[in-house]
Amino acid sequence: MNSEELKELGLVQHIFVDLTAENGVKVSCLILSADEVPRGSIQLSKRAKDKLGDCLTTGLTITKPEYDTVLRGIPKVDEIAKPYVKACPALVRKYTNQVELINPKNGFRVNLTLREDSTAKPNTLYFNRYIMLLLETHSEGHDPLIITRARTRSQPKPGIHKLINQLIQRPLSALGNFFIGKRELTLRVGHPYPFDEHQNLCRIHPNVRKLLGMEETDQIVITYNSKQITIPILDIDTEHIAQSVKLHADNEQLKFIDSHLFIGITALSRNELEIPSIGTSVTVKRSMYSLFLKHLNKLVLPVIALLFTIVQLYKDLNWSIALTVIISLVLLPIIIYTTLSEERAKIN
């Protein structure tokens, strides 16, 4: 919509507003400004028009969400690595613990978990430098940022096929978390290479892949809000990073940082995750389900050797069946744990 009209209505760029048609059909839209848009009118994206269907695009009502302007505070050293961000009680009461923080200059956004702290200054969030880099804001803390409530979606009931997959994957993922270990990172979404768009994959920096304890073509879980997908990863070409990542041409340090914060996701995957724009931060972790299945071959011989030994001892020492089962259940996790020690070492 028109930039002057945007200010008059008390709106800012990069927040979501609800558009309601005269027949009651509602759609949530990311709002941007453009001087060439006439006052009193709006331009809708093709996706927004599709969601409105056959509704007339005249007489639309805009519902403004709650949002505030906040500044960055510097957290204490022992709070830097915490999974939450300290905030004053008023902000937590108004926006709940789950919020979205947006840089209005570039539209970069990240979801945060707030924790109430009575010592926090009003309209101040105490987040670490990593979040600051994701938003591409300055360290001085003078850049105003937009805080709004994190968007939630009602999840449809899963079908039978999905329920069966969940019943299989969740136990294996839990076993993988215990025997292999997990690590999560937050990365900023960008475009992959043009020839990747028809492929089901994503691209990250090789150093970030190693930090996650992964190899190329391993499965990675990408999460945004309540949506998640599992796709294989490939490295970006470190010699031609600028072909994919928009870098600061005159700042070598920012070039290096941006390349390590980048994850290239195809348009199809971004649509599936309902990522609103490039620059949105997502959570990534290695898929424990696929990783556990990948290393099953390492477990075959040790498990067979264990079973053979237990059977021989059962015969030679006249053990009871109950004792044999108990010893097997005790030794089996130990063998699995020691066999997968190399994978744990990648992230520990």
Question: Could you give the CA distance from residue 66 to residue 152 in angstroms, rounded to a whole number?
Answer: 15
What integer pLDDT is reported at residue 56 of this predicted model? 62
What integer pLDDT is reported at residue 248 of this predicted model? 58
pTM of the complete model: 0.83
Mean of pLDDT values over 267-295 = 89
What integer pLDDT is reported at residue 58 of this predicted model? 67
Q: Give phi and psi for 281, each to the nearest 5.
A: -90, 135
Q: Residue 309, SS3?
A: helix
Tens digit of pLDDT for each residue in 218-237?
999 999 988 999 999 999 98
Tens digit of pLDDT for each residue in 301-312?
888 888 888 888
What integer pLDDT is reported at residue 285 of this predicted model? 92
Looking at the structure, give the CATH architecture of the domain made up of residues 160-293: Beta Barrel (2.40)
Query: Residue 55 in contact with residue 49, Cβ under 8 Å?
Result: no
Residue 194 reports pLDDT greater than 70: yes
Domain boundaries, the chain: 3-63, 67-149, 160-293, 295-345
Mean of pLDDT values over 165-181 = 72
The domain defined by 67-149 carries CATH number 2.40.40.20: yes
What integer pLDDT is reported at residue 101 of this predicted model? 95
Query: Residue 268 in contact with residue 222, Cβ under 8 Å?
Result: no
Residue 173 reports pLDDT greater than 80: no
Q: CA distances (Å), 255 to each of 62, 82, 141, 284, in order?
A: 39, 27, 21, 21
Tens digit of pLDDT for each residue in 230-276?
999 999 988 777 666 666 556 777 888 888 999 999 999 999 999 99
- Range with the lowest mean pLDDT among 7-11, 179-183, 204-208, 262-266? 179-183
Residue 91 reports pLDDT greater than 90: yes
Q: Which helix (H) or strand (E) holds 244?
A: none
Question: Could you give the CA distance from residue 4 to residue 11 in angstroms, rounded to a whole number?
Answer: 10
The string of DSSP codes covering 90-151 is HHHHHH-SEEEEE-TTT--EEEEEEEE-TTSPTTEEE--HHHHHHHT--TTS-S-EEEEEPP
Q: Do domains 67-149 and 160-293 have the same CATH topology?
A: yes
What integer pLDDT is reported at residue 249 of this predicted model? 56
